[in-house]
Chains A and B, each alone.
Chain A
Amino acid sequence: MIVEGTVLPLDRANVDTDQIIPAHQLTGIEKTGLGKHLFTGMTGGVELLASYPDASIIVARENFGCGSSREHAAWSLADRGFRAVVAPSFARIFFENAYNNGIAPIIVPAEEIDALLQSKSLRIDLETERLHRDDGTALAFALDPLRKQFLLSGGYMAFLASKVDSVHAWETART
């Protein structure tokens, strides 16, 4: 699976999920339709999005997605067509939420970020785990081997559904 597209450069560290989508926009009951709230909690966020209307890949600095567990952050990114976030590090809950919503969290060394922020577009091969820059050079990264399957075939819940019987059996054996 290839994720290819325009880069939205988010030259910030510690982008928390309150900035990605503020709490007063968390009043729905569905996972859909949240793209219109994306970055509305971020100073200059709406303007930044408007400057890169076709972007599908975010490049950001360390600790992306920290703070609240709100999966609305991943849903709002996915709803706006984002398919990957490239950063030196991610907060755990966002990292899991991204995988569960078709957004690849791509971890690259911090020293690569300055150059990546300058990239107009990127091509990310999720199968071979290589990130191709627009100058022809490439960078290897590693995906979580299990969650990669969720990403490629969209199936956290389906995976767990397949485990129900064995979990019941485990629980019975435990007690």
Chain B
Amino acid sequence: MPQSLFEKVWNAHVVEELPGENALVFVDRVVAHEITTPQGALEIQRSYDDKLFDPARIVAINDHVSPAKDTETAIQAKVLRDWAKRHGIVLYDMGQNGICHVVAPERGFVEPGMTLACGDSHTCTLGAFGAFALGVGSTAQGGAMLAGCLVLQRPKVMRVNVTGRLQNGATAKDLALHVIATLGFKGGTGYVLEYAGDAIAALSMDERMTLCNMAIEAGATTGMCPPDETTFSYLRGREHQPTGDAFEAKVRAWRALVADEGATYDAEVTIDIDALAPLVSWGTNPGESVPIDGVVPAGAARASLDYMGLEPGVALRSLAIDQAFIGSCTNSRLSDLRAAADVLRGHTVSVPTIVTPGSQAVKRAAEREGLHDVFQDAGALWTHSSCGPCLGMSMGVLAPGARCVSSTNRNFPGRMGAGGRVHLASPAVVAASAILGRLGSPDEIVAAPAASPSSAEQAKVNA
């Protein structure tokens, strides 16, 4: 019987069928961060002799507030750190860390065909590798650390065929927003989104991660992309991957992880992206977005309008902003920073702008290319890696009523600070908006004359 990609991965991990369409599903990898791991780890320590199923299947990453901002977050980081050391768990801590969904793949900790769980809803990012990767609560993560399994209701599978190609300034972020707008904010609930089509095959791993990152914003259990040469090339030579023949043997096995001809799906949609333009969210959930040329739609929910300080018919481009943010597990990888830098190069931001790389490794790679100079020459703040302003937990919190254009994934009320208003967009649109001081797109930015090396050097001396 022909199988979907999801079915192949799922069937290979079912330890036991359980009542109510549930299954005991083996978990190959657990990613553990400091906000949601301590509760389960302490429960195992207190009630189950501190015994983990297999510490080698876990990676610990201090990511949300690193360095700690206060005593409480210092304790969270210390609990994770001490627990990891006690069990011999691989730990990425201050200096080598970053956002867990960026660090795990760049260290080669996820691969096609795996199951992976983490106490973080954006774990779906890692479905980009053809893994079944999903966010769970702390208790479920604890169960995976204790027994190597999750109890899961078997999700339905929606095939999302994507045709055409990204052009006209549209990016993977715009595709992600478009998918959510098409399915609806809860339209993916109960489903795995199995992406397919030439447009997906043409995406880089960074782009696939951006796309899968936002599967949860349609309510989906996760997203998955079929693994291919792009996937294998990305993983070749990564830290947790073997080298030489051992790696190539894995690649041969991974090639079987594609949907069979004739596989059936619970639902199927086709999305063509040839006409896709940059999108910006106007409302209070990620399903509420329109093209940057658009207006706040008629019939918009009153609660969303009131929170965002908007009325139907208002042009997105007319909205003045107070802050811009480039970062988060959605859009903080090197290609995202390059896209933002290409817009900002030679220009000056007109609102406070924060650029937060997705990992310390991304930060160093960006600095080797001089991107940190581009951002700082433009007047933006270039920070260390963390989840940062995305969830209003540490730096960059918005004031009530402040309007921020952000390359992140959630525009919920209060997400980036109580009363703060968030407009989701691609890194390029955020960069352009930062220059303009209002929502806008890169095509509005007149190319800056190339600075002569001597004047650039002089500017540095003067600084």
Which A residues are closer than 8 A to B by beta carbons? Answer: 12, 14, 16, 18-19, 22-24, 26-31, 41-43, 62-63, 66-71, 74, 89, 91-93, 96-97, 100-101, 144-147, 156-157, 159-161, 163-164, 166-168, 170-171, 174
Contact A161 B410 (CB under 8 A): no
* Contacts A16-B410, A29-B79 supplied; 11 other A-B pairs, CB < 8 Å: A18-B410, A18-B413, A19-B412, A24-B392, A42-B414, A70-B35, A144-B153, A156-B140, A160-B147, A163-B24, A167-B148
In B382-417, the 8 Å CB interface with A consists of: 391-393, 397, 410, 412-415
A101 to B415, CA, bound (A): 24
Residue B121 contacts which of A42, A93, A156, A164 (CB distance < 8 angstroms)? A93
A26 to B392, CA, bound (A): 11
Minimum CB–CB distance for B31 against chain A, Å: 12
Q: Indicate whether A167 sits within 8 Å of B24 (C-beta atoms), given known contacts A145-B19, A156-B143.
A: yes
Residue B48 contacts which of A24, A43, A157 (CB distance < 8 angstroms)? A157
Q: What are 13 of the A-B contact pairs (CB < 8 Å)?
A: A18-B413, A27-B76, A28-B76, A41-B418, A42-B413, A92-B189, A96-B137, A146-B151, A147-B151, A157-B143, A160-B147, A170-B15, A174-B26
A156 to B120, CA, bound (A): 19
A92 to B150, CA, bound (A): 14
Q: Is B285 an interface residue (CB 8 A)?
A: yes
**Which residues from A are CB-within-8-Å of B418?**
22, 41
Q: Indicate whether A92 sits within 8 Å of B219 (C-beta atoms), given known contacts A41-B414, A67-B412, A170-B26.
A: yes
Stretch at the interface among B36-44, B268-276, B317-325: B36-44
Q: Is B261 an interface residue (CB 8 A)?
A: no
Contact A14 B119 (CB under 8 A): no
In B203-230, the 8 Å CB interface with A consists of: 216, 219, 221
A131 to B462, CA, bound (A): 73
Minimum CB–CB distance for B383 against chain A, Å: 17
Q: Indicate whether A146 sits within 8 Å of B18 (C-beta atoms), given known contacts A22-B392, A157-B139, A163-B149.
A: yes
Q: Is B58 an interface residue (CB 8 A)?
A: no
Contact A100 B140 (CB under 8 A): yes
Residue B149 contacts which of A42, A62, A145, A167 (CB distance < 8 angstroms)? A167
The range of chain B's interface size is 35 or more
Contact B143 A160 (CB under 8 A): yes
Minimum CB–CB distance for A28 against chain B, Å: 7
Q: Indicate whether A68 sits within 8 Å of B121 (C-beta atoms), given known contacts A24-B393, A145-B19, A145-B20.
A: yes
Minimum CB–CB distance for A92 against chain B, Å: 6
Contact A166 B137 (CB under 8 A): no
Contact A19 B414 (CB under 8 A): yes
10 smallest A-B Cβ distances: which pairs?
A29-B38, A71-B137, A27-B72, A160-B147, A97-B137, A160-B143, A23-B393, A145-B20, A23-B391, A69-B121
Q: Indicate whether A157 sits within 8 Å of B19 (C-beta atoms), given known contacts A14-B285, A41-B413, A93-B135.
A: no
Of residues B20, B53, B151, which shows the largest number of chain A Cβ atoms within 10 Å of its Cβ? B151
**Which residues from B are CB-within-8-Å of A14?**
185-186, 285
Q: Indicate whether A69 sits within 8 Å of B147 (C-beta atoms), given known contacts A29-B75, A170-B26.
A: no
Interface string of B259-302 (1 = CB under 8 A from A): 00000000000000000000000000100000000000000000
